[in-house]
């Protein structure tokens, strides 16, 4: 299939684009590189364009004979969205509507949308199922919900087929170290912890230790980025014009911030200094997915996990510690990403509370 990937030079987008290409799809990346990185997709066709440039979007789709869109391009920091909501409403909502208008102009009728568990807000029950009320508590979450509602209306009125994939906390990196998180500034927990282990920062901040959770820190469902990519490709291949899919992507179990820190200490064999600060506005105490509805999208991941669990139990943690020691002499980006992969992979097998 000929697939246009917006935000394809970003974290999740680049992993999905890599898998699309590896599974035989014809991929075109559209990204303005405000957050993404051209080297992440250096082997794929690329158009530098913003979501707010309709003529360029239409031209890219026409030149590529696009059949479907994967839409990752969005600003995604909850805290920043609270402080500066205007930027989020403009980019995430106006930009996405501009993309949908371009699709209609060209006749593209399938889209996989990168949505978020942030659309749920404070959970009424755990784990979260897709029919849980959606009451976001941050502008970021609300922008995702607005586009989900728009997609439902466009599907009904214009026959667009869509998959809104509400994923939980993306984590990890490609196992070979070719791709991973590269944010500036970095805000995601695992790379921040590993930066402390490598001596690149003094401590990791923990936002609140007084939540109603067993250890007082927030609980999140950490899904490996490779599994997210697998689910996106599976959803795309299932999607038909007029079809509506709304699916959670998670592991079904949660890990607290403190548990992630402890696990990274185990993986790396290093102390991780912690600095506790106040709660961050817009953070629910707990977000854990019921991802059973996305079973079709998780089949390949489950096969990989079965093998991965055996490997993890037989020495991944020791390998992580050894690799971290080597990084003291050569702190290469690839090596760092392999450690990040191992830490996130270990979370796949964390004991479930459910």
Instruction: List, as one string, the DSSP characters of 221-287.
Output: -EEEHHHHHHHHHHHHHH--TT-EEEEEES-S--EEHHHHHHHHHHHHTS---EEEEPPPTT--SEE
Q: How many domains does the chain have?
A: 2
In a domain, 24, yes or no: yes
Per-residue confidence (pLDDT) for residue 155, from 0 to 100? 98
Same domain, 135 and 183: no
Same domain, 265 and 137: no
Per-residue confidence (pLDDT) for residue 139, from 0 to 100? 96
Same domain, 134 and 94: yes
In a domain, 101, yes or no: yes
How many alpha carbons lie under 13 Å from residue 98 in its C-beta half-sphere?
A: 20
In a domain, 74, yes or no: yes
CB 168 within 8 A of CB 222: yes
Per-residue confidence (pLDDT) for residue 298, from 0 to 100? 54
Nearest to 240 by CA among 152, 316, 159: 159
Task: Return d(Cα 153, Cα 180) in angstroms, integer.
Answer: 35
Residue positions annotated with a catalytic role: 140
Task: Return d(Cα 75, Cα 64) in angstroms, integer.
Answer: 26
Whichever domain contains 182, its CATH number is: 3.90.25.10
Domain finish residue from 197, 232, 249:
249
Name the H helices within the chain.
Answer: 11-22, 54-64, 78-83, 85-88, 95-106, 139-158, 189-197, 225-238, 257-268, 295-311, 317-327, 333-347
Tokens of 134: 């959606």
Per-residue confidence (pLDDT) for residue 322, from 0 to 100? 45
Per-residue confidence (pLDDT) for residue 33, from 0 to 100? 95
- In degrees, rounded to 5, the angle at the alpha carbon of residue 186 between the alpha carbons of residues 183 and 192 is 130
Tokens of 259: 């548990």
Same domain, 233 and 263: no
pTM for this predicted structure: 0.84
Per-residue confidence (pLDDT) for residue 283, from 0 to 100? 83
Q: Are strands 110-116 and 161-167 parallel, antiparallel or unpaired?
A: parallel
Domain containing 315 equals 171-220+252-347
Task: Return d(Cα 156, Cα 174) in angstroms, integer.
Answer: 37
In a domain, 352, yes or no: no
Per-residue confidence (pLDDT) for residue 336, from 0 to 100? 53
Question: What are the mean pLDDT values of the chain's consecutive 10-residue runs (354 residues total)?
Answer: 97 95 97 92 96 98 98 92 96 98 98 97 93 96 98 98 94 76 74 85 95 94 88 93 94 89 83 92 87 66 38 38 44 51 54 43
Q: Is 288 helix (H, G, I), strand (E, B) or coil?
A: coil
Per-residue confidence (pLDDT) for residue 173, from 0 to 100? 77
Per-residue confidence (pLDDT) for residue 19, from 0 to 100? 95
In a domain, 274, yes or no: yes
Dihedral of the CA atoms 7, 8, 10, 11 (nearest 10)? 130
In this structure, the number of other CB atoms found within 10 A of the CB of residue 337 comes to 23
Task: Return d(Cα 130, Cα 341) in angstroms, integer.
Answer: 28
Same domain, 239 and 260: no
Same domain, 185 and 241: no
Whichever domain contains 145, its CATH number is: 3.40.50.720
Per-residue confidence (pLDDT) for residue 235, from 0 to 100? 93
In this structure, the number of other CB atoms found within 10 A of the CB of residue 175 comes to 16
Same domain, 268 and 343: yes
In a domain, 215, yes or no: yes
Tokens of 114: 């990168």
Same domain, 244 and 260: no
In a domain, 354, yes or no: no
Tokens of 342: 């191992």
Same domain, 204 and 57: no
Cβ neighbours of residue 307 under 8 Å, at least 6 residues apart?
none
Q: Is 345 helix (H, G, I), strand (E, B) or coil?
A: helix
């Amino acid at each position: 299939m000929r697939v246009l990937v917006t935000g394809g030079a970003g974290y999740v987008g680049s992993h999905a684009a890599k898998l699309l290409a590896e599974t035989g799809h014809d991929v075109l990346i559209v990204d303005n590189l405000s957050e993404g990185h051209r080297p992440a997709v250096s082997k794929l066709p690329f158009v530098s364009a913003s979501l707010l440039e309709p003529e360029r979007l239409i031209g890219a789709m026409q030149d590529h004979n696009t059949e479907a869109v994967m839409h990752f391009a969005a600003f995604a920091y909850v805290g920043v969205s609270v402080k500066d909501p205007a930027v989020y409403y403009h980019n995430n909502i106006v930009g996405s509507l501009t993309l949908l208008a371009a699709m209609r102009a060209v006749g593209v009728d399938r889209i996989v949308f990168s949505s978020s568990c942030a659309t749920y807000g404070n959970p009424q029950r755990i784990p979260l199922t897709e029919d849980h009320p959606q009451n976001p508590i941050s502008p970021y979450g609300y922008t995702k919900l607005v586009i989900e509602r728009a997609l439902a209306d466009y599907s009904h009125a214009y026959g667009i087929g869509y998959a809104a994939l509400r994923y939980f906390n993306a984590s990890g990196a490609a196992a070979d170290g070719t791709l991973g998180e590269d944010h500036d500034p970095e805000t995601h927990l695992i790379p921040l912890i590993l930066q402390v282990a490598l001596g690149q920062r003094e401590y990791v901040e923990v936002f609140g230790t007084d939540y109603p959770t067993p250890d007082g820190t927030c609980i999140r469902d950490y899904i490996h980025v490779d599994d997210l990519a697998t689910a996106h490709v599976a959803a795309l291949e299932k999607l038909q014009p007029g079809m509506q899919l709304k699916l959670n992507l998670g592991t079904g179990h949660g890990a607290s911030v403190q548990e992630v820190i402890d696990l990274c200490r185990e993986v790396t064999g290093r102390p991780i200094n912690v600095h506790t600060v106040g709660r961050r506005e817009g953070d629910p105490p707990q977000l854990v997915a019921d991802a059973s509805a996305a079973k079709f999208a998780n089949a390949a991941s489950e096969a990989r996990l079965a093998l991965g669990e055996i490997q993890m139990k037989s020495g991944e943690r020791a390998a992580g510690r050894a690799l971290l020691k080597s990084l003291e002499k050569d702190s290469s980006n690839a090596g760092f990403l392999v450690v990040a992969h191992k830490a996130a992979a270990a979370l796949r097998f964390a004991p479930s509370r459910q």
